Amino acid sequence: MYGTIGEYDKAEEYEKKALVISQEIGDRQGEATSYGKLGAVYQCLGEYSRAEEYHKKQLVISKEIGDRRGEALCYKNLGTLFRSLSAHAEAKDYHEKALEMSKKNGDIEENKELYLQLAYDILSGRHVGSQP
């Protein structure tokens, strides 16, 4: 919530507190969620290496606990992160992984969103005036 209104320091503070509680009570899903949200906060702050670190922590846990929707979300977030860095090939790779997971999950709406992300990855990677 705080991140959506630009109070990233508050969002970071509260997510870190939630992360600690999740770790203390053994809530792996909550831990993964907090890592993902912290990744989003750091991405908004332009701290891309920290954002990547936290998204990848979320990915590891999502895989460990068998959370396929969480895994797909991680890939999607990593794709968006790499697009922010103009690393279009990596962005496309992550979005393709997210789409593959989303198809397995049967999530039609997410499939649509990921096809749009992939189209944007391709278009973002092209230079103005380049030939097809």
Looking at the structure of the chain, the number of domains it has is 2
One domain, residues 44 and 74: no
Domain that residue 42 falls in: 1-66
One domain, residues 59 and 76: no
Residue 132 covered by a domain: no
One domain, residues 75 and 57: no
Q: Rounded to an integer, what distance in angstroms lies between the CA atom of residue 8 and that of residue 83?
A: 21
pLDDT for res 35:
97
86 pLDDT higher than 70: yes
CB 8 within 8 A of CB 44: yes
Query: Where does the pLDDT of residue 36 fall: very low under 50, low under 70, confident under 90, or very high at 90 and above?
Result: very high
Residue 38 covered by a domain: yes
Which residues are CB-contacts of 95 (< 8 A; sequence separation ≥ 6)?
75, 76, 79, 114, 117, 118, 121
Query: Where does the pLDDT of residue 7 fall: very low under 50, low under 70, confident under 90, or very high at 90 and above?
Result: confident
**Where does a domain end: 35, 66, 97?**
66
Query: Where does the pLDDT of residue 41 fall: very low under 50, low under 70, confident under 90, or very high at 90 and above?
Result: very high
One domain, residues 88 and 36: no
What average pLDDT does this structure show over 23-36? 97
2 pLDDT higher than 70: no
pLDDT for res 115:
93
CB 73 within 8 A of CB 40: no
Q: Rounded to an integer, what distance in angstroms lies between the CA atom of residue 121 and that of residue 25?
A: 39
Across all residues in the chain, what is the average pLDDT? 89
Residue 34 covered by a domain: yes
Residue 119 covered by a domain: yes
The candidate with the shortest Cα–Cα distance to 116, out of 132, 102, 131, 130, is 102
One domain, residues 40 and 17: yes
Classify residue 27 as left (phi > 0), alpha (psi -120 to 50) or beta: beta
pLDDT for res 79:
96
CB 84 within 8 A of CB 114: no
One domain, residues 58 and 73: no
Residue 53 covered by a domain: yes
Residue 20 covered by a domain: yes
Percentage of the chain modeled with pLDDT above 90: 79
Residue 123 covered by a domain: yes
pLDDT for res 25:
98
